[in-house]
Amino acid sequence: MHGLSAKIKAIAADLGFAKCGIVAAERLDSESGCLREWLDRGCHGEMSWMGRPEQDRADPRTVMRDVRSVVVLATNYFTPHEHSDKHGQGKISRYAWGDDYHEVMRERMMALLGQIKVEAPNIGARICVDTAPIMEKAWAVRAGIGWIGKHSNLITKDVGSWVFLSELLLDVELEYDKEIVEDHCGTCTACLDACPTSAIVEPYVVDSRKCISYATIELRGESIPVEIAENLNGWLYGCDICQDVCPWNRFEKPTDDPRFEPRHGETSLPLESIDRMEHREYAERFRGSAMKRTKLSGLKRNAKYLKT
């Protein structure tokens, strides 16, 4: 079904995807070794689901038994707004400014699959949007979307690193992309030098236990480690420092999807408003937002540390 590959890419472009690559659904053996080493070092912190043995992230057949091809999509979410360093405000990571990317991307992926089924009605498929046990960045590299930078985020030559990744697993063989993008980080160490908690412990390796984003989103409990709490740099939810300083993000381009624009025009939130917020207001304010992941208790904890 080689002709279908070109049609898939054309449909993806029409739907607004920034990049599309297609590769054979093979086990990611070398990439799996890197993941295992990262897990063995404990760099995943309390994210225990990363190492579940029943979920072999290197094998796409864990997600879809009959998969033959992996279609990798990149969605540009950059909007030309800046973070505020105003006193009493807590900064929000750029990816969470707009509507929940899971929902936005799933809608796009459903539209993509719907149009593919017009061309191939009997095709079997599985949509993956962030939550499936699949090595998204590794597949993006294999599909020629970009390369993994020293900050461990995927970088594209076209729009930088402000991209969401998603995958469409299909049960048919297609025409596959062969070209892999070279690592263009070179001797640059901007992300390592800028990280206030030294979470990028060596090029391409982020220790979540030292990461501001991990501490303010994934870490549960009432406390944040002292070495992170003292270097929050105003971040209430997530952190964009390593991407903000990346030279490749000079190629960033505004997204064409208004759903990634900051909700209520906010790139930060008043800490006092978080202190006063009750659950009903929280549920309404963050309905349809990725920020609901940290729950109200997490936001209140983060705000407390920013005020001390």
Tokens (6 digits) for 129: 């949007």
Identify the burial level of 251 via C-beta atoms within 10 angstroms of its C-beta, where 0-12 means exposed, 13-18 middle and 19 or more buried.
middle
The pLDDT score that the predictor gives to residue 32 is: 84
Mean pLDDT score of the chain, rounded to an integer? 95
Cα–Cα distance, 187 to 250 (Å, whole number): 17
Question: Phi-psi region for residue 42, left (φ > 0), alpha (ψ -120 to 50) or beta?
Answer: left
Q: What are phi and psi of 78, to 5 degrees?
A: -70, 135
Tokens (6 digits) for 90: 């807590």
End-to-end Cα distance, the chain: 61
In the DSSP assignment, the letter for residue 194 is: H
Return the closest-CA partner of residue 288 out of 107, 118, 140: 107
Q: Render pLDDT for 2-39 as a digit per residue (tens, 0 to 9).
A: 699 999 999 999 999 999 999 999 999 888 888 899 99
The pLDDT score that the predictor gives to residue 55 is: 66
Query: Catalytic residues, which ones?
Result: 130
Q: What is the pLDDT along the chain (308 residues), one digit of tens a residue?
A: 569 999 999 999 999 999 999 999 999 988 888 889 999 999 999 998 887 765 688 899 999 999 999 999 999 999 999 988 888 999 999 999 999 999 999 999 999 999 999 999 999 999 999 888 999 999 999 999 999 999 999 999 999 999 999 999 999 999 999 989 999 999 999 999 999 999 999 999 999 999 999 999 999 999 999 999 999 999 999 999 999 999 999 999 999 999 999 999 999 999 999 999 999 999 999 999 999 999 999 999 999 999 97
Cα–Cα distance, 241 to 225 (Å, whole number): 19
In the DSSP assignment, the letter for residue 154 is: E
Domain ranges of the chain: 2-80+97-170, 190-252+263-307
Tokens (6 digits) for 170: 């299909």
The pLDDT score that the predictor gives to residue 147 is: 98
Which are the contacts of 287, defined by CB distance < 8 A and separation ≥ 6? Answer: none
Sheet holding 163-170, edge to edge: 19-24, 69-76, 163-170, 125-128
Q: How far is CA 201 from CA 37, 65, 160, 189, in A?
A: 14, 37, 22, 12
Compute the residue count for the chain.
308
Distance of CA 78 to the CA centre of its chain: 13
In the DSSP assignment, the letter for residue 134 is: S
CATH label, 2-80+97-170, candidates 1.10.3470, 3.30.70, 3.40.109, 1.10.10: 3.40.109
Return the closest-CA partner of residue 57 out of 45, 66, 49, 47: 49
Cα–Cα distance, 78 to 27 (Å, whole number): 32
Tokens (6 digits) for 241: 């420092």
Distance of CA 134 to the CA centre of its chain: 13
Tokens (6 digits) for 141: 């590299």
Strands 200-202, 205-206: parallel, antiparallel or unpaired by DSSP?
antiparallel
Q: Render pLDDT for 148-161 as a digit per residue (tens, 0 to 9).
A: 999 999 999 999 99
Side-chain half-sphere exposure of 268, counting CA atoms within 13 A: 23
User: Which amino acid would we find at residue 194?
Assistant: A
Identify the burial level of 265 via C-beta atoms within 10 angstroms of its C-beta, where 0-12 means exposed, 13-18 middle and 19 or more buried.
exposed
Return the closest-CA partner of residue 101 out of 288, 249, 295: 288
